[in-house]
């Protein structure tokens, strides 16, 4: 299972966990599995998060592959102009 690291603002929505293990072969499957396990995360994920897989930021790419031993980091999406 991939390890998903949550930023501090999401941890309270995942029972206080900093790292959650989730099944999935793509970023989209991992995000969907995360929401299935912790429904409180759904609004934040729907608003948009940045995702890094094994140190590579993969913005907006739900089809990016995730290996069973991958580290996935959810990062707060920055807005600006």
CATH of the domain at 29: 3.10.20.30
User: How many CB atoms are located within 10 Å of the residue 22 CB?
Assistant: 20
Proportion of the chain in helix, strand, coil states, percent, rounded to 5: 35, 30, 40
Q: What is the mean pLDDT of residues 17-22?
A: 96
- Beta 71-76 vs 19-22: how paired, if at all? unpaired
Average pLDDT value over all residues in the chain: 93
Residue 8 lies in a domain: yes
Residue 19 lies in a domain: yes
Q: Which domain holds residue 38?
A: 2-76
Residue 44 lies in a domain: yes
DSSP H helical segments within 1-79, as ranges?
A: 8-11, 27-37, 42-47
Phi, psi at residue 45, to the nearest 5°? -70, -40
Question: How far is Cα 40 from Cα 63, in angstroms, rounded to an integer?
Answer: 23
Residue 11 lies in a domain: yes
Residue 27 lies in a domain: yes
Residue 81 lies in a domain: no
26: pLDDT confidence band, cut at 50, 70 and 90?
very high
User: How many distinct structural domains can be found in the chain?
Assistant: 1
């Amino acid at each position: 299972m991939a390890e998903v690291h949550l930023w501090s603002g999401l941890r309270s929505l995942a029972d206080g966990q900093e790292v959650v293990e989730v099944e999935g072969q793509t970023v989209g499957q991992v995000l969907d599995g995360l929401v299935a396990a912790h429904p409180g995360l759904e609004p934040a994920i729907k608003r948009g998060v940045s995702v890094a897989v094994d140190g590579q930021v993969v913005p907006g790419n739900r089809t990016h592959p995730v290996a069973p031993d991958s580290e996935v980091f959810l990062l707060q999406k920055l807005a600006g102009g």
